[in-house]
Structure 1
Amino acid sequence: MSAIPMITIDGPTASGKGTIAHRVAQALGWAVLDSGALYRLAALAVIDGGIDPGDQAAVARAAQGLDVRFDADRIWMGGADVAARIREERVGNLASKIAAYPALRQALLERQRAFRRPPGLVADGRDMGTVVFADAPLKIFLVADVEARAQRRCKQLKEKGFSANLADLLQDMRERDARDRNRAHAPLVAAPDARTIDSSNLSVEATVKQVLDLWSSLGTRT
């Protein structure tokens, strides 16, 4: 087991994983890994490269060759800031589809594990606690009603200047949930030792407090 402390936060799309992970990492003075961004970056590379998204080997090669750098709120790929582009729904939907490819997941595995450095790491995604960091001392499984998640995503998109339709988002989210939960390789599931938090009716601050309280309860592992 690595001596570097860490917390994993897994859960379905728009459950608030990213926001909570960043707030918890900020409170602890740790780094943060948005694993979903890596899959979205792979999807964007597929789109921009004109790659057949059904060609699993080609998609995996694109992921292996990603020229990516994370810098606060900016995400650089090939010299351009693509932080806004990877949040587009078409990129997210393609990321969900190609995330089922074992070759792609393997291509990104070591890249994700390399983020675990002192003083600590908060990693959010769908298989952080079950596959990528299975030895993490604290694993959170963050859930929320699909309707609440669709409303959150709709609000986020509109605030960023994107057009959004709640009914379409709700349908896309249900389809994405089904893909994530039913894929054969690294499906979305709570780790046996994960602590489940339902954020449907919780504020960001209340959710962050629950995670920090759980971490504090581990005592000397901080």
Structure 2
Amino acid sequence: MKYYSVAIDGPAGSGKSTVARRVAEHLGFTYVDSGAMYRAVAWQALNQSADFHNDTEIEQIAKELHFQLDKNGWLINGERIDSLLRSPQVSQYASNVAKTIGVRKILVAKQQEIASKNHVVMDGRDIGNHVLPHADVKIYLTASVEERAKRRLNEQQKRGYDGDLQLIMKEIERRDEQDQTREISPLRQASDAVRIDTTSRSVQQIVDEIVTICCTKMGGEE
């Protein structure tokens, strides 16, 4: 049986997670939030007061984490901790974790295993180029820095965290630089990806566009 895969990449705050989740729901595919896996490693490392400069220690944490997907999202070691993974502190350290070569190898292998057994919509920063280079559909979402910062601020406020728009803009610019220049699997638009600018566009407009692309490329199968 052939399993279809949709890769959605883009920088922080481009709308990947929201869009990917809705596309997956429409297609009846499994949604895979690859970023949550790096956040889970960071969250666990923080809980264990791990040394983030010790790659071996962080890699061991990644190895020991058990990831399970169900219709409601990730279970990490049997726990549903989605809300805890979105704190500003976890976000900051997740970026450091993502630069660790050993951690990326471990998590990429887990992501590829999931895609080998399910129809998936997977979002992240290196999906189309590295994790699923043969994905049936590749999308690259982007948006202006200000637009992405406003979205991130809104998300934080909804979760009860304070934020400053200017500081968030600077953090997003720093994150973009870090993601685009890291040694392993830097953020790049895949040569065969469809680029979509989400600035000033509704989530539903983007979802509809991607679903149309998917149905066309996959022969209308859902």
Distance in 2 separating the partners of 1:219 and 1:60: 37
User: Which one-letter code corresponds to 1:30 in the other structure?
Assistant: F
Q: Specify whether residues 88 and 153 from structure 1 end up closer, same or farther in structure 2 by C-alpha distance, changes over 3 A only.
A: same
User: Which one-letter code corresponds to 1:53 in the other structure?
Assistant: F
Distance in 2 separating the partners of 1:187 and 1:101: 12
**Is 1:8 aligned to 2:11, yes or no?**
no
Q: Specify whether residues 164 and 40 from structure 1 end up closer, same or farther in structure 2 by C-alpha distance, changes over 3 A only.
A: same
**Is 1:195 aligned to 2:191, yes or no?**
no
Partner deviation per Cα, 1:53-99 (whole Å, 9 max, x = no partner) = 01111111100101333444464334543211110111111111221
**Is 1:130 aligned to 2:111, yes or no?**
no
Q: Compute the displacement of 1:221 (Å).
A: 6.9
Q: Specify whether residues 116 and 221 from structure 1 end up closer, same or farther in structure 2 by C-alpha distance, changes over 3 A only.
A: farther
User: Which one-letter code corresponds to 1:81 in the other structure?
Assistant: R
Q: Specify whether residues 51 and 211 from structure 1 end up closer, same or farther in structure 2 by C-alpha distance, changes over 3 A only.
A: same
Q: Specify whether residues 132 and 144 from structure 1 end up closer, same or farther in structure 2 by C-alpha distance, changes over 3 A only.
A: same
Aligned residue number for residue 97 of structure 2 = 98
Q: Specify whether residues 219 and 74 from structure 1 end up closer, same or farther in structure 2 by C-alpha distance, changes over 3 A only.
A: closer
Distance in 1 separating the partners of 2:29 and 2:73: 18
Q: Specify whether residues 218 and 155 from structure 1 end up closer, same or farther in structure 2 by C-alpha distance, changes over 3 A only.
A: same
User: Which one-letter code corresponds to 2:81 in the other structure?
Assistant: V
Identity of aligned residues (%): 31
Higher helix share: 2
Partner deviation per Cα, 1:162-211 (whole Å, 9 max, x = no partner) = 21221221111111111000101000001111110000121000000110
- Figure out how many residues of one structure are paired with residues of the other and give that number: 221
**Is 1:77 aligned to 2:76, yes or no?**
yes
**What is the DSSP-based 3-state SS (H/G/I as helix, E as strand, rest coil) of the residue aligned with 1:36?**
helix
User: Which one-letter code corresponds to 1:63 in the other structure?
Assistant: A
Contact 1:21 1:122 in 2 (8 A): yes
Of the structure 1 ranges 9-18 and 110-119, higher mean CA displacement relative to structure 2 is found in 110-119
When the two chains are superposed, the root-mean-square deviation of aligned CA atoms in Å is 1.7
Contact 1:12 1:188 in 2 (8 A): yes
Q: Compute the displacement of 1:131 (Å).
A: 0.5
- Structure 2 gap segments, 5+ residues each: none
